[in-house]
Chain A
Amino acid sequence: MRRILARRLLSIPATLLVVSMAIYGLTAVLPGNIGRTILGREASEETVAQLNHELGLDRPLVQQYGSWLGNFLRGRWGTSYATNQAVRDVVMERLGRSLLLAGFAFALLVPISLGIGTAAAFRRGTRFDRVITMGSLSVSAIPEFVTGVVLLIVFGVNLPWFPTSATAPDGSNLIAQLHRLVLPASALLLAWAGYVGRIARASTIATLDSDYVRTARIKGVSRSRLIRKHILRNSLVPPTTVLGVSLGAFLGGLTVVESLFNYKGVGSLFLQASIDKDIPVLQALAAVIGLFSMLCVLATDLVYALLDPRVRMGEAR
């Protein structure tokens, strides 16, 4: 177990380095002149060139990257081209909000998706199973911006149960904040619950059909013990992997939901920075979200190893 943890932790910096190089390379080849974008079309070419020089954008790409990386590692994340704010302050403030939304959505997703998937598997072939299967498949096929708008219109406008703006006023307590996050978290839930639920269903069915479950039944193991010790522990392994990935994806994929629900997290910041070609912000976001995704994968591996002794044994060999 320790070796798994150590190996995964060691791989994170190397992966992040590759990610940051890829992001830097991609942003560098994007069409457009940053100086021109900032100063507007009416600026002279000379002024644009001067600004690009001041920003270090006229240096070779490798040199730019090295400079950015060195500063980033020392905590100097630079200043936003668009808003002139310190990038680190903006990103960290937004990150806190997005983690709250992602965490809340995840807390809803785990019991609901595993619950409906497992319940459908135990009632395989019944009307309940068909409704759950078809319903979850249909809902997860609808894009988040559609489900989001429907949720807003139904539960924000027609039945004004929840605020349509997810950003809580300063000083709001956790309950008030979570109340505002119900609709955006529901939009995320609808996008993912069907997918995770279907995997949980398939996995549970496979477990129910396995020889050791049949043997346990023949041996007279009680139903509750059979479910807890033999079925769930084994059937949860595949959906756990998907859930771990989904948590990472929540943070990186919040752009639509955060914009639609006016939530000031990293997703809406990513969108704005992309529009503005705000490279320092984009780089910092990519690094932070990349790190979070890798930590999610690491956590998933650890949970996977805890659930499945074969993983631990395999690593030990």
Chain B
Amino acid sequence: MMATNDLQQELAEQMLDAVRRSAMPRREFIRRGTVMGLSVGSLAALLAACGGDDDSSGDTTAAAGTDPATTTAGSTDTTVGTTETTAAAVSEAKGTFRMAEAAPARDLEPLTGYGAGFLVIQMVHDYLVRVDNDFNVLPSVATEWAPTEGATVWTFTLRDDVVFHDGTPMTPATVVATYERMVNPDLKSVALSAFRGILSPGGTAVGADGTSVVFTLDRAFSDFPYLCSQANYTSMILKDDYAGDWLSNPIGTGAFKVDSVDPSTGAKLVRNDAYWDTGKPSLEAVEVAFYTDAQARVIAVQSDEADTTPIDFVTARALVSDDSIEVSQVGGTQTNILTMRVDTAPFDKKEVRQAVAWALDRPAVIERVLNGGGAEGNDHLFAPVYKSSPKDIEQRNLDQAKVDELLAGEKVSFTLTYGATESASVAQVYLEQLKQAGFDVTAEEMPDDQFYGGDQEVDTPWLFRPATLVVWAGRPTPSQFIAPMLLSTGVWNGAKYNNPDFDAAASAYDASETDADKAAQGKTLAETMWEDCPAVISYWGGNARATKKGFTGMDAGYFDIASVAVTD
């Protein structure tokens, strides 16, 4: 039998949930609570923690809350996403989390910024949904989302208790303004390329119910929620009247508010007491210090001047023996791809392309390029971390017998072209291994901007040389690799690959509305890439982070700063 206190707690939870959903007035909550024997003070505290109350003092001594990160199934089944309420999370905000991060190379600006330092902006803002390191889509300021009309129309239902740090409420119109701003070609948003061919100006509107936002896409796109998450990092929600002045006016709805920010030195963020996610954030403050030197960042953590820093895999190995530090490593989707032009000799023969793929010793590549981090690639664009990544395709690796069989005694000569800065280390390993396997391969190294310079429709080296090494930044969905790189209409189709069946399978993948459909179409695409082999993907990168013991919730890759807490 449930104890009285437990019963009170359970009933209070249910009522709080009703308050959050606006199904129960606050006055009614207090009336019923007192009938149950709860004190007015504790009820007021629960209501304050519930959020949306102007009188909320930020007193976090008792807070019942909803924790999307732990309460949602995290399915990528795109038919629906829901928020469920769990047991009360009683927490007390405490502690300052000190982050040593790489110095920003670009302006700290939500629309056009990218790279190092951008996480400061991310901690101040929310996204419609969040993605975790297993690529589950989780609710954030959107509680539900669902596709209709073959994944060409997406409806996101929004919370009604989200307010900006200056007290302005976030409304569906705010979200519409945010997305219209991002897809406006005149504003040169970084997110523009992610939405290209998917969402155009005029495609976002307030739903008929007044509480949702409806996206009418240019084409079916089953992974659209990923583009509304932090994985598409500039898609954060900004104020309706945002004027590109983030440094002087950094107002978001996020878990932390800006106390001070300087692009040269760092930022100090303080807890947003009125945060909609009740009981969060768990920290009182976050301090970010920007470092130019990676080694200095690690030393800062070792000397207890910082609590966390991103690290490379060499450092991760070295820090494993440090008892005071927790090392987190997660898989990623960034890679370096060897693209071969299927319309040009010698790569117009599928056997030659496959022979190149079988000539690479992938564990050795990973050891030398990533110092053992990352994961083996298998010549298709479904990184292991993607939910739709097929697991039952034969893993390619060095097999000299297969290379010899495929080449059938033919001596194959070609030139491998790459950018000096970004691909030299990978090229060196590939050149050695390919020569050892019997290929007559010559290096053509050029400055990166020369490699990427020229006309993309006529002569740019990275898209027109017979064999190239190209670094591809991580992407939240495989379609964002496939569409530009391998579709016959792809804007960066350096392989000049043209397979109508593959194009059709890619369209079917994007239109699939269930995980099962998506997995089936994904397998078709992966098998076709593996067989036709227009590109060799020998590894997928990853991320690593060192964090002082004494904190929970801090991972490499995608992390939710609102969930980071001091351990007792």
Could you tell me which A residues sit within 8 Å of B by CB distance?
Answer: 31-33, 36-37, 41-42, 44-45, 48, 82-85, 90, 93-94, 149, 152-153, 156-157, 160, 163-165, 167, 170, 258-262, 264, 268, 271-272, 275-276
Contacts and interface: CB of A to CB of B under 8 A. Distances in A.
Given A33-B449, A83-B105, A84-B109, 16 more contacts: A41-B462, A42-B193, A83-B104, A83-B106, A83-B263, A85-B107, A90-B264, A93-B264, A160-B304, A163-B305, A164-B296, A164-B300, A167-B265, A259-B292, A262-B293, A272-B292
Interface residues of B, number: 37
Given A83-B106, A164-B305, A264-B265, A45 B455 contact: yes
Given A31-B447, A31-B449, A164-B300, A149 B295 contact: yes
A258 to B, nearest CB: 8
Contact of B300 (A44, A82, A262): A262
Given A31-B449, A262-B289, A157 B299 contact: yes
Contacts of A165: 289, 291, 296, 300, 305
A171 to B, nearest CB: 11
A164 B265 contact: no
A271 B291 CA distance: 12
25 contacts: A31-B449, A32-B449, A42-B492, A45-B453, A48-B453, A83-B105, A83-B106, A83-B107, A83-B108, A85-B263, A156-B303, A157-B303, A164-B296, A167-B265, A167-B289, A170-B260, A260-B295, A261-B296, A262-B289, A262-B291, A262-B293, A262-B296, A262-B297, A262-B300, A264-B265
Contacts of A153: 299
B295 A82 contact: no
A264 B106 CA distance: 16
B288 interface: no
Nearest to B459: A45
Contacts, number: 93
Contacts of B91: none
Contacts of B264: 90, 93-94, 264
B450 interface: yes
A72 B508 CA distance: 58
Contacts of B210: none
B175 interface: no
B227 interface: no
Contacts of A156: 299, 303
B105 A32 contact: no
A41 B456 CA distance: 10
Contacts of B295: 149, 260
Interface in B522-563: none
Most chain B C-beta atoms within 10 Å of own C-beta, residue among A258, A264, A272, A276: A264
Contact of B105 (A149, A164, A260, A276): A276
